[in-house]
Amino acid sequence: MKVLIRRCLMSLAVAGLAGAALPAGGVPADAAATAAQDEAGFPSYLAQVRARAVGEGVRPATVDAAFLGLTFNPRVVALDRQQPETAPNAPVSDFAPYRLRHVDAARIDRGRSTYQAQRGRLASVEAATGVPEQIMVAIWGHETNYGSYTGDFDLVRSLASLAYEGRRRSLFEGELIAALKMIDRGVISRERLVGSWAGATGNPQFLPSVYLRLARDGDGDGRADIWRSAPDTLASIGNYFVQAGWRPGEPWGVPVTVPAGFSRTAVANRLVSPRCPRVFQRHSGWRTMAEWRALGIVPERGSWPADEVQAVLIEPDGAGRTAYLLTGNYRVILDYNCSNFYALSVGLLADEIAR
């Protein structure tokens, strides 16, 4: 969906951090102390954004209406500054506790109900995209619990405040312009454009620029309504995965058992990824399914994918626990949210939904 920082920020926004706790009053003391100073230059900054937006084709009246009475929001800046910086050598926690929270009985049951209710639409999207029905539903379940919570921050105000703060201005100002284009094109009204503090919106939690590129009409009414239409939500998720490189007919991964005495050194990954290095450093090097089978890896259930399918090995809870062979389609899930725990949970939830 993208430059790396946009992926990372969306990950934070949709992983529950949008509602992170703050001290009493909602804004840390240091942020409150600088709020007045921040407010002083905010109108001048909005004037600059107005000029850029108009230059990119947004009608002046749309920008003026969107910015009318707009004030700086120190809370979203405080939330952004609270996001933890992960030390390169920090220990990695086990996957099991995360899985219990995110692939729980309630989410599975609701996913199965959603799956059955949308089978007609899902089948047509899968036929058009090659993305499995259950994967689309699992993404929806992880992003907003099937639409039960999509965020209530004023997106224009949040994006304007984060852009003005300046640390990631190029990212947030671009998203602010994209939000103004959505309003100008009649996609959604100014009042209804709400979402996470970091700018993600709708059932699939798309950033505005992602909406403009990838949102699709799934119910044939001529609009891509990712806020109220389940078919549009699922079609948009499917299109996202297509654009990210989903390979039809290939699973996301396979739960496996690793034999005692297995040499992890022999299959170690020697490369360093420029994107999400801590995520990819947990993966082995690539081998074919036939090669993994020859090394004694055994699937915990189901059958092997085709012999020529390439996969990497991950042991998210350490040796002796369930491991996973992950295909190229797993990398597509990581494109949505670059977190092994997230991507594994999406795959496992999808498997449970379709079971």
Confidence of residue 15 (pLDDT cuts 50, 70, 90): very low
Locus of tokens 């926690």: 93
Q: What is residue 220's three-state secondary structure?
A: coil
Give the pLDDT score at 84: 64
Confidence of residue 88 (pLDDT cuts 50, 70, 90): low
pLDDT higher than 80, residue 150:
yes
Q: Distance from first CA to last CA of the chain, Å, rounded?
A: 29
Query: Chain-wide mean pLDDT for the chain?
Result: 89
Q: What is residue 232's three-state secondary structure?
A: helix
Rounded CA-CA distance 195/206 in Å is 9
CB atoms near residue 36 (< 10 Å): 10
CB under 8 Å to 108, separation ≥6 — which residues? 349, 352, 353
Q: What is residue 94's three-state secondary structure?
A: coil
Q: Cα–Cα–Cα angle for 65, 70, 71, nearest 5°? A: 175
Across the range 2-7, mean pLDDT stands at 40
Q: What is the DSSP letter of 21?
A: -
Give the pLDDT score at 166: 82
Give the pLDDT score at 285: 97
Confidence of residue 31 (pLDDT cuts 50, 70, 90): very low
Rounded CA-CA distance 47/64 in Å is 10
Give the pLDDT score at 19: 34
Higher pLDDT, 20 or 32: 32
Give the pLDDT score at 89: 63
Q: Which of 178, 199, 172 is nearest to 12 (CA)?
A: 199
pTM for the full predicted model: 0.87
C-alpha pair distances (Å), 281 with each of 92, 165, 191, 273, 313:
11, 33, 43, 8, 11
Percent of the chain clearing pLDDT 70 (strictly above)? 87
Q: Which of 137, 138, 140, 142 is nearest to 122 (CA)?
A: 137
Q: What is the DSSP letter of 324?
A: E
